[in-house]
């Protein structure tokens, strides 16, 4: 299976939120960036008997927005392999035995990446125009994410995963990434 993804992020949200001291938050910390940002991506999936390979990528082009700032282009990408667990003991122990409903277990291993440019600030001053980039922003971050998914009666899906920072090429001085816990619950209608 494959899909091409394309669209545009429209300006939304408040663009003038201030901190406790009355200073505006940076543009990328505002609820909205104030910019129109086109994006394009690709998603691929290949299923086998008990194994599935999935990948997707998305690239967003940044344009001038709030406070005449270009937040910077961004790319995100994910690669995953999932394995269906067909252990009859799991099915006897858990809900399937009690409810007479099907219960499927998948083990998942993902690599999740995010890259972003340094924001560009353009400032008009009484004596001229100046622009500069935030050297302590953006870069590349890749997480390794092992987890599991449980599908109950082909209607409810729950997943749990732990994301561990694997690759850190961050620009300048930034707070180090930490472990992330991911939980999801989905109902299919």
Which of 135 and 116 is assigned the larger pLDDT? 116
The CA distance from 100 to 104, in Å, is 13
The secondary structure of residue 154, as a DSSP letter, is T
Burial 17-26 (b: 16+ CB within 10 A, else e): eeeeeeeeee
- pTM, full prediction: 0.75
CA-wise closest residue to 3 among 55, 37, 36, 42: 42
| Segment 139-184, tens digit of pLDDT | 999 999 999 998 887 889 999 999 999 999 888 888 888 999 999 9
| Segment 96-115, tens digit of pLDDT | 566 667 778 899 999 999 99
Q: What is the pLDDT of residue 56?
A: 97
Q: What is the pLDDT of residue 21?
A: 80
CA-wise closest residue to 186 among 161, 152, 144: 152
Tokens of 100: 């007479």
The CA distance from 34 to 96, in Å, is 50
Split at pLDDT 50, 70, 90, the class of 94 is low
Query: How many residues can be counted in the chain?
Result: 189
| Segment 38-64, tens digit of pLDDT | 999 999 999 998 899 999 999 999 887
Interval 75-92 mean pLDDT:
82
């Amino acid at each position: 299976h494959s899909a091409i993804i394309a669209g545009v992020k429209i300006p939304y949200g408040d663009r003038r939120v201030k901190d406790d001291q009355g200073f505006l938050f940076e543009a990328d910390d505002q609820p909205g960036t104030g910019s129109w940002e086109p994006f394009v991506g690709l998603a691929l999936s290949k299923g086998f008997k008990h194994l599935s390979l999935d990948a997707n990528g998305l690239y967003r082009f940044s344009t001038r927005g709030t406070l005449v700032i270009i937040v910077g282009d961004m790319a995100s990408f994910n690669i995953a392999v999932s394995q269906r667990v067909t252990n009859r003991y799991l099915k006897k122990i858990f809900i399937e035995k009690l409810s007479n409903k099907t219960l499927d277990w998948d083990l998942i291993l993902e690599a999740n990446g995010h890259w972003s440019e340094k924001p560009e600030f353009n400032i008009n001053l009484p004596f001229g125009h100046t622009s500069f980039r935030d050297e302590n922003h953006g870069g590349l971050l890749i997480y390794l994410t092992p987890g599991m998914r449980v599908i109950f009666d082909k209607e409810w899906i729950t997943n749990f995963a732990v994301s561990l920072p694997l690759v850190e090429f961050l620009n300048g001085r930034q707070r180090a990434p930490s472990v992330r816990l991911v939980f999801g619950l989905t109902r299919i209608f």
